[in-house]
A and B are shown apart, each in its own frame.
Chain A
Amino acid sequence: MSTLLEVSGVSVTFDGFRAINNLSFQIGNAELRAVIGPNGAGKTTFMDIVTGKTRPDEGRVIWGEKSVSLLRMSEATIAQAGIGRKFQKPTVFEDQSVQENLLMALKNKRGWLGVLFYRPSKGDLEKVEELAAEIGLKDELTRKSGELSHGQKQWLEIGMLLAQEPRLLLVDEPAAGMTPQEREHTTDILVQAAKTRAVVVVEHDMEFVRRLNCKVTVLHEGSVLAEGSLDHVTSNQDVIDVYLGR
């Protein structure tokens, strides 16, 4: 399996606090990975670095077959290169309809002139409907997304991510605030998505991680503490000490 994203030796310091300390991480083309760790372990900062929001002090972030460095690219170009991100808090555009949200995310030209003259083609509208069906929002297409329930917003955001057709999906606590049934559905969507692309899930909830049934990376104080199957890492003494034991 070839490597899609390679993070090596990355460190970030915020006002003297080392949020990320010599972190290295790799993920393949079609792989599901869970990242766990206690609060302040650097999970969100890790995502910020990959998506270009935060510049690391040192280290390399290499992307794709052509091995381009992500460090010099802006957030928008990184997103165009194929990295999608879902935030912890559902961030959909509440003032706009579900359809508008999905159309905006749909993989298409991102330049301002192209967007100005863009009118949705039949194929695009069908794609949006398919996606809406997948995330259970088919009947809500014309509703303003601000009217949706918390769980529905989470799904809409996942749907927007899928619409972007990214090669790497970064998902921050997707199941937060969801009912057990909604969690199950979310698990299905993520597992399904990981068949064709790389998916990184940051999650606190062990039960959710267990259901994902994938390789797990444990972060602690900004670096990787352990990596492997869930059973492997949960039996690791270091992990028990810093995370599970508490």
Chain B
Amino acid sequence: MERSFVAKNPSVLVFLAILSLFTLGVTVLSEGFGIGVISTSFVKTLGKTLCLCLIAVAMDLVWGFTGILSLGHFAFFGLGGYMIGMWLMYERTRLIVVESLSQAEIPPTSSEVVDAIGTQIFGVVGSSEFPLIWAFSDSLFLQLVLVVLVPGLLALIFGWLAFRSRVTGVYLSILTQAMTLALALYLFQNDSGLRGNNGLSGLQNLPGVTVSQDVVSIWFLWASALALGLGYLLAAWVVSGKFGSVIRGIRDNEARVRFLGYSVEVYKLAVFTLTACIAAIAGALYYPQAGIINPEEMAPIASIYLAVWVAIGGRGRLYGAVIGAAFVSLLSTWFTGGQAPDIPLGFYTIKWVDWWQVLLGVSFVLVTLFAPQGIGGLFDLWTNRRAPQRHGAALGPDESALREKEATE
């Protein structure tokens, strides 16, 4: 009865194989390491897509498996981006400042250097002082720790307050929306310490790295693929055992799990915090590829898109989330990038840049109504995994009602 993890989850191996092949393929076709068929900007798009797939895995874990419809996970994604962005911006500015000050006759003191960096970074919001939250920005190691720590702590506190009060369902979704909106509005302020609506920029330039973006983009593609692979493996492992049973139980019947002696709130909190950390790591890899992060990224709509991806891909199965995120976000890039041909109707021309959102909304509604399993459900045609057939269900509420099985026999 007891089989190895891989034997029980063959989809994990298939997924990892496809991911490796994809990464290898892109590398070979790239400008940096290969024959140059794929442009560097498209490599970046693909790398970013992998990060979006990773946060979709996190979303599937928290929504598809645990049943918590969080509409705030992009807050954690953005925070992760900000944390790595602080170091990238500080360190790069420092190198530039040191370089320019070295021309001076008197070597600058360290406080002069820090002041110059502060002026460079915060001049745009009319300040030159380093806010307290930048205290560790000179240390890559500490900022990397903060990538996980800050969003994790926010999720822990938020989740503890929400789950302890037994806020569930749509009320919890609204709370998470409020959280991400509040965070975005706070960061939009110039005195929030993170440069207001300017956000952090120039993140694509790695300090001290002189190779071209052609190469850097491939590095980030590798890192994103590695993170996605590890994240997928972790998520698959988490849902494979009894923990998976319990969280799926929480999704289907919270009260019953409670009466089995499991503290539902603690489990929800654990999943919520874990997925926030995964989302943060995805964000920390995403924004150096995007080059810029600003509070707009944490707008409530971003987290709603995330739910749409997972729903279209098929929630409750990890590969469904990945497929949904990759498919919808790449399609969205295609439509909004002006590459999709306009459709002239004579009296009106459908411009996809404007109409893509409508198309997305309609397909979301259609998938929810007619194909709740999403794209991932197509794989059920191969395997024989099906929804439970409720043979024997009573056909009526009365005790004497015929049961389905009796009726068909």
A interface with B by C-beta (< 8 Å): 51, 53, 74-77, 79-80, 84-85, 87, 91, 93-96, 99-100, 103-105, 110-112, 115-116, 118-120, 125, 144-152, 160, 164, 176-177
A93 to B241, CA, bound (A): 15
* A147 in contact with B241 (CB, 8 Å): no
Contact of B394 among A116, A120, A148, A150 (CB under 8 A): A150
A-facing residues in B245-295 (Cβ within 8 Å) = 245-246, 248-249, 252-253, 255-256, 258-264, 266-267, 270
Interface digits, B367-409 against A, CB 8 Å rule (1 contact, 0 not)? 0000000000000000000011111111000010001010000
How far is the CB of A122 from the nearest CB of chain B, in Å?
8
Q: Whose C-beta in chain B lies nearest to the C-beta of A83?
A: B259
- Residues of B with C-beta under 8 A to A75: 255, 258-259
Contact with A149, one of B248, B256, B405 (Cβ below 8 angstroms): B405
A115 engages B242 (CB within 8 Å): yes
A80 to chain B, nearest CB (A): 4
Instruction: Across the A-B interface, give the 9 residue pairs with the lowest CB-CB distance, nearest first.
Output: A146-B388, A149-B392, A79-B261, A75-B258, A76-B263, A80-B261, A116-B243, A144-B388, A112-B270
Residues of A within 8 A of B243 (CB): 112, 115-116, 118
- B105 at interface, CB cutoff 8 A: no
B149 close to chain A: CB less than 8 A: no
Q: A112-B263, A147-B391, A177-B394 are in contact. List 12 more A-B contacts (CB 8 A).
A: A51-B259, A76-B261, A93-B248, A93-B249, A93-B253, A94-B252, A104-B246, A115-B242, A120-B242, A145-B388, A147-B388, A150-B392
The answer, yes or no, to whether B35 is at the interface (CB within 8 Å) is: no
Complex Cα distance, B258 from A149, in Å, reads 24
A99 to B387 alpha-carbon distance, docked (Å): 17
Contacts of A103 in B (CB 8 A): 242, 245
Chain B positions within 8 Å of A93 at CB level: 245, 248-249, 252-253, 256
Q: How far is the CB of B99 from chain A (nearest CB, A)?
A: 49
**Chain B residues with Cβ under 8 A from A105's Cβ?**
260
Are A177 and B258 neighbours in the complex by a CB distance under 8 Å? no
Report if A147-B399 is in contact (Cβ < 8 Å); known contacts: A93-B245, A95-B248, A119-B241: no
Contact A96 B245 (CB under 8 A): yes
Closest partner residue, chain B, to A125 (CB atom): B1
Contact of A110 among B252, B263, B270, B388 (CB under 8 A): B263
Assess whether B172 is interfacial by the CB under 8 Å rule: no
Contacts of B264 in A (CB 8 A): 76
Contact status of A110 and B261, CB under 8 A, knowing A93-B245, A96-B248, A176-B399: yes
Give Cα A176 to B394, complex, Å: 11
Q: Give 23 A-B contacts (CB < 8 Å), ordered by A residue.
A: A74-B258, A75-B259, A76-B262, A76-B264, A79-B260, A87-B256, A91-B256, A93-B252, A93-B256, A94-B388, A94-B390, A95-B248, A96-B245, A104-B242, A104-B246, A104-B260, A105-B260, A112-B243, A115-B246, A118-B241, A119-B241, A146-B389, A160-B260
Contact A79 B258, CB 8 Å, known A149-B403, A177-B394: yes
Contact A164 B260 (CB under 8 A): yes
With A and B bound together, what is the CA distance between A160 and B260 in angstroms? 9
> Judging by beta carbons under 8 Å apart, are B259 and A96 in contact?
no
Contact partners of A125 in chain B: CB under 8 A: 1-2
Alpha-carbon separation in the docked complex, A7 to B142 (Å):
56
Q: How far is the CA of A79 from the CA of B399 in the complex (A)?
A: 30
Question: Counting CB contacts under 8 A, is B238 at the interface?
Answer: yes
A51 to B259, CA, bound (A): 8
Complex CA–CA separation, A148 to B258 (angstroms): 23
Residues of B within 8 A of A79 (CB): 258-261
CA distance A147 to B387 in the complex (A): 9
* B245–A116 touching, CB < 8 Å: no
**Nearest CB on A from B161, distance (A):** 17
Give bound CA distance, A144 to B388, whole Å: 6
Interface centre among A74, A80, A112, A144 (most CB of B within 10 A): A112
Give the chain A neighbours of B242 by CB distance below 8 A: 103-104, 115, 118, 120
Residues of A within 8 A of B403 (CB): 149-150
B389 to chain A: which residues have CB within 8 Å?
146-147
Smallest Cβ-Cβ distance to A175: which chain B residue: B399
Cα of A94 to Cα of B245 in the assembled complex, Å: 11
* Nearest CB on A from B6, distance (A): 14
Instruction: For B390, give the chain A residue with the smallest CB separation.
Output: A146
B66 to chain A minimum Cβ distance, whole angstroms, is: 12
Complex: chain A residue closest to B251, CB-CB: A95
Contacts A76-B262, A87-B256 hold; do A148 and B249 have CB atoms under 8 A apart? Answer: no
CB contacts (< 8 Å) of B393 on chain A: these are 150
Whether B266 and A112, one on each chain, are in contact in the complex, defined by CB atoms closer than 8 angstroms, is yes
Q: Would you give the shortest CB distance from A154 to chain B, in whole angstroms?
A: 11
When distances are taken between beta carbons in the complex, the residues of chain A under 8 Å from B2 are: 119-120, 125
Contacts of A96 in B (CB 8 A): 245, 248-249
B193 CB → nearest A CB, Å = 35
Q: Which residues in B have their C-beta under 8 angstroms from that of A151?
A: 392
A-facing mask of B227-252, CB < 8 A → 1, else 0? Answer: 00000000000100111011011001
CB distance from B275 to the nearest CB of A (A): 14
Chain B residues with CB under 8 A of A176: 399
